[in-house]
Chain A
Amino acid sequence: MKDERIVTLVKRGEKERYGVVVERYEGALGRYIGHLINQRGEEVEDLVQETFIRAYENLEGFEEGKKFSSWIYRIAHNLAVDYMKKKKVATEGMGEEEWREIEDGIDIEKEMIEEGEKKILVEAVKRLERGHKEMLLLFYVEEKSYDEIGEILRISKSNVGVRLKRAKEKLKILLDNKV
């Protein structure tokens, strides 16, 4: 059953169906938030939980005809950004292991992802500022389309293209300088 259909049913009073939404998005949102805030464990779990609570509270505000996944990612994104502002989380600081997932997801410049250069790529993505990092995460790791990224970040499709290009360029500069 599609997310949007489940949401309609939850709105009509079938609350237990919200559990399906939680199951579907728990992992993906945890991964996205974790990468964005450079944290793991309790902080991420709390933010994921908060995302589901916020989403449930605001479910009546979810407009029919829209994509639910973009809507819930937007809530998660906003919460993660608020968390970073509050805690003044630096964009760097994530361990090798955590970044391995990103490393696997990124297909940006295949020749650069050869075995010997993987470490450099990992370092480069770690060093990117939030704006660039979120673009690469959403496009390559979360595999969102331009439309979906636009809905999550509330920017135009053309702006998504521009920002993604800049993020790739920034990553390339870092890679050229060997981080």
Chain B
Amino acid sequence: MELIKKEKIKMKPRWIFDSRRWGKRLLFGTGIVAGSVLIALVDFLMSLRRAKEYLNYGEVGREIFWEKMPVGESILGLMFIGMAMIFFEKIGDNYKMNRWTRIGISLALAGSSSLIVRLVMKRFELELGLSFI
């Protein structure tokens, strides 16, 4: 108490805690946005490369499918979604939710925003496709 009275121990300013709170929200949002954009990009590249069609051609077809799969983008996308899941738990009282509810909400958010991104991409698919070719 003496140290407190003599102001040798001070309270940290409020903005530190506020920025921590907002930082977590920002990281969660970044994870969802980046993850969903990357997953939409993977889907776009898969359709551009017609990868799914090869799944009908047995073992060799499956090998070609995996060769055509944009692995780096997929891993990165999943990593971002994973990051979002981690930070979702740290926001407010979210830890009180069941683990599967938290995972479900994060996946639903990532999935729906990925769908929106994909729809927007579809609108410009021709131009995008040409630029990739």
Contact = CB atoms under 8 A, between A and B. Distances in A.
Interface of A: 11, 15-16, 18-19, 22, 53, 56-61, 150, 154-158
A54 to B, nearest CB: 10
B17 A61 contact: yes
11 contacts: A11-B11, A15-B4, A19-B1, A53-B3, A57-B11, A58-B17, A60-B11, A60-B14, A61-B17, A150-B96, A156-B98
A58 B97 CA distance: 25
B58 interface: no
A58 to B, nearest CB: 6
B95 interface: yes
Interface string B87-114: 0000000011111000000000000000
B4 A56 contact: yes
A11 B12 CA distance: 11
Contact of A156 (B11, B14, B96): B96
A58 B12 contact: yes
Contacts, number: 44
Which of B1, B3, B12 gathers the greatest number of chain A CB atoms within 10 Å? B1
Top 8 closest pairs, chain A to chain B, by CB? A61-B17, A60-B14, A154-B95, A19-B1, A59-B11, A156-B96, A57-B12, A60-B11
Interface of B: 1, 3-5, 9-14, 16-17, 20, 95-99
Nearest to A153: B95
B95 A22 contact: no
A19 B4 CA distance: 10
Q: A-side binding surface: helix, strand, loop or mixed?
A: helix
Contacts of B4: 15, 18, 56
A43 B122 CA distance: 64
Contacts of A58: 11-12, 17
Given A57-B11, A59-B11, A60-B12, A156 B1 contact: no
Contacts of B16: 60-61
Given A57-B12, A150-B95, 18 more contacts: A11-B11, A15-B4, A16-B1, A18-B1, A22-B1, A53-B9, A57-B10, A58-B12, A60-B14, A60-B17, A61-B14, A61-B16, A61-B17, A61-B20, A150-B96, A154-B95, A155-B95, A156-B98
B97 A156 contact: yes
B87 to A, nearest CB: 14
Nearest to B90: A154
Given A15-B4, A18-B4, A57 B9 contact: yes
Given A15-B4, A156-B95, A157-B96, A60 B13 contact: yes
Contacts of A16: 1, 5
Contacts of A156: 95-99
Nearest to B10: A57
Q: Which of A22, A58, A61, A157 has the most CB of B within 10 A?
A: A61
